[in-house]
Structure 1
Amino acid sequence: MTDHVCLQLQSWLHGSAGLWSSSLPQTGFFPPLENAMLLSGTFNNRVALITGGGTGLGRAMTVTLSQLGAQCIIASRKLEVLQQTAEEISSQTGNKVHAVQCDVRDPQAVSQCIDQMEALTGLPDVIINNAAGNFVCPSERLSPNAWQTVIDIVLNGTAFVTLELGKRLIQKQKGASFLAITTIYAESGSGFVAPSASAKAGVEALYKSLAAEWGRYGHRFNIIQPGPIRTKGAFSRMDPTGAFEKVKIDRIPTGRLGKPAELANLVAYMSSDYASWMSGAVIRFDGGEYVSIAGEFNELRSVTPDQWKVMEAMIRKTKGS
């Protein structure tokens, strides 16, 4: 009986993560609230730049900031997509959203984008570096071009936008809030997304460095590490078959994926004057996923009360070290 139970326990612990959360009853304790959290008018007379703001998470951030009164500029390579998004959000919120084409990989294009932005709105009060590129791939199959593409968009693009804007803001003696969107595996690393993990870790080092250096100019630098939040573009590259979504949910203690509007509320708070003493912060926003997968014994949550009784009896019988 004991040997049989031991074999069962080994099987449960190593091969059946889904047993614990097949019904996910805990989800009811963590309902998403998707309406704007901050007071209407929080960003009145403020200008916000959101890179990658035409789709996905960037679009959700733009909606929330625009609802709260910000005049928003969204920037990415695809001008047609940006223009459509800008028109839709402007008609929804009543606040102007500007579309500015920009390839963040190109320093000259970034400079021209900021020239255009200055002519439209003046320099921004809020800068959100959200533009990203990523895909899953075994590292032995990565080409130099694939590596370079992700590094250029995520790390170099963030650096080019941040440094060019920072220099101009310093010259004009204007303060601003800078926010970078990274990922929970920027901290741990992760197989199959080595370029993204490396680039995002570099972004975090850049922002923490500038938080220390540029506070004297009135600049704040903060970081959000989102866990899995479903968007069409990201999930089509990161989970093309849909097979991994259930695995992800099973290991998130809150039992669900995040919602774009939830992230947008956090972005708005961290970019607002309510967070004016926050700088150099790295906020993990993942439903507990990181700590769930990091703990050595966390898979014991799949063990039932009856199985615990058997294990406890076995433990009590153990003598010596």
Structure 2
Amino acid sequence: MFNPQLLAGRNILVTGGGTGLGKSMASKFLSLGAEVHICGRRKGVCDETATELMAEFGGKVTSHGVDIRDCAAVDAMIEDIFTDRPLTDLINNAAGNFISRTEDLSPRGFDAVANTVMHGTFYVTHAVGKRWIAAKLPGNVVSITVTWVRNGSPYVVPSSMSKSAIHAMTMSLATEWGRYGIRLNTIAPGEIPTEGMSKRIKPGDEAGARTKAMNPMGRVGTMEELQNTAVFLISGGCDWINGETIAMDGGQALAMGGNFYQLRSRSDEDWTQARDAIKSQNEKDKVARG
């Protein structure tokens, strides 16, 4: 679909690039000739991903351990990257989410999502954007959002609010920073099954089963489709796309709202089981991180 060296000369940061969707996009950029930076809270995971991707595709992947909720740490990372070589593109992929009835949420649970998704995304975008502007450099920002930034979603209110903030940031900065040659767009994918998504958003469900049953196209999305959409948005193929959110969900949001409204039928026992499953997974992740 793309020229093999389409992204040669590009220097791209993918947040949350050690696993899942971020790792997938990073691999595609690398395969098309870009130099790639990936960051995440678990530097060991990012280090392993960097080694794996370079072994498969060659090129250069630099790993950074950073918690994007820490604005000072974010700024220090971006300064280090720009000192070596300015970024050309930023992919805001890092996120967090879990299902819960809103009345059961704690402030800590809300902040766990909002501090990463809303605050963290702004910190990274701001740190990169202000350096592009100061150096009179153009740039691209692509953020991963959700289709329900347009209509909300029950049972994931912290994520819905935070992703909507990214949607608003994208439209706002597209108009403010467009004159500097800086474009911002978002991709709102439907379900592309990943390990993290399955364990925290749909615990106990067969990955993709609900989507296949409801989606107009009868299937879930693929990593390749996300990769191709992200590459197109930064490729230069249409630099007049600015401030847009591109839904990539087979039309599910149009047909069914694309959110978690169907969970209204869950019983108290169902919610307890889901909460226990998420807590158990969080404990396992803490042990894995050491």
Cα RMSD after superposing both structures: 1.3
1:147-158 alignment to 2 at 5 Å? 147-158=110-121
Q: Give the Cα separation in 2 of the matches to 1:163 and 1:249.
A: 38
Equivalent in the alignment of 1:292: 255
Q: Which TM-score applies when normalising by structure 1?
A: 0.78
1:115-154 alignment to 2 at 5 Å? 115-120=79-84, 122-154=85-117
Corresponding residue SS for 1:273: coil
Displacement of 1:246: 2.0
Equivalent in the alignment of 2:141: 178
Displacement of 1:95: 0.9
Which residue identity does 2:74 align to in structure 1?
V
Corresponding residue SS for 1:254: coil
Structure 2 counterpart of 1:75, from 39, 46, 53: 39
Percent of aligned pairs sharing the same letter = 37
Structure 2 counterpart of 1:90, from 54, 57, 62: 54
Equivalent in the alignment of 1:62: 26
Displacement of 1:44: 0.4
Corresponding residue SS for 1:128: strand
Displacement of 1:47: 0.3
Contact kept in structure 2, 1:100 and 1:116, CA below 8 Å: no
Q: Give the Cα separation in 1 of the matches to 2:163 and 2:209.
A: 25
Equivalent in the alignment of 2:177: 214
Corresponding residue SS for 1:127: strand
Q: Which has the higher contact order (CA 8 A, sep 6+)?
A: 1
Q: Which moved more, 1:98-107 or 1:245-254?
A: 245-254
Corresponding residue SS for 2:185: strand
Count of aligned pairs between the two proteins: 258
1:47 matched to 2:6 = no
Q: Give the Cα separation in 2 of the matches to 1:294 and 1:162.
A: 29
CA separation of 1:71 and 1:201: change in aligned 2, threshold 3 A: same
Moved beyond 6 Å, runs of 4+: none
Equivalent in the alignment of 2:212: 249
Displacement of 1:243: 5.2
After superposition, what is the alpha-carbon deviation per residue over 1:53-77, rounded to whole angstroms, capped at 9, x for unaligned? 1000000000100000000000111
Corresponding residue SS for 1:188: coil
CA separation of 1:244 and 1:262: change in aligned 2, threshold 3 A: closer
Contact kept in structure 1, 2:190 and 2:252, CA below 8 Å: yes
Corresponding residue SS for 2:208: helix
1:13-24 alignment to 2 at 5 Å? none
Q: Give the Cα separation in 2 of the matches to 1:50 and 1:270.
A: 14
Note the residue ranges of structure 2 that are not aligned, 5 or more in a row: 259-290
Contact kept in structure 1, 2:198 and 2:207, CA below 8 Å: no
Q: Give the Cα separation in 1 of the matches to 2:41 and 2:195.
A: 18
Equivalent in the alignment of 1:8: none
After superposition, what is the alpha-carbon deviation per residue over 1:81-124, rounded to whole angstroms, capped at 9, x for unaligned? 0000001101111111110111111100101111221244x121
Q: Which TM-score applies when normalising by structure 2?
A: 0.87
Displacement of 1:181: 0.3
Q: Give the Cα separation in 2 of the matches to 1:258 and 1:244.
A: 12
1:199 matched to 2:152 = no
Which residue identity does 2:60 align to in structure 1?
K
Q: Give the Cα separation in 2 of the matches to 1:156 and 1:294.
A: 26
Rg bigger for which structure?
1
Contact kept in structure 1, 2:151 and 2:257, CA below 8 Å: no
Q: Give the Cα separation in 1 of the matches to 2:82 and 2:127.
A: 12
1:262 matched to 2:225 = yes
Equivalent in the alignment of 1:112: 76
Q: Give the Cα separation in 1 of the matches to 2:208 and 2:98.
A: 15
Q: Give the Cα separation in 1 of the matches to 2:45 and 2:156.
A: 27
Q: Give the Cα separation in 1 of the matches to 2:183 and 2:207.
A: 36
Equivalent in the alignment of 2:264: none
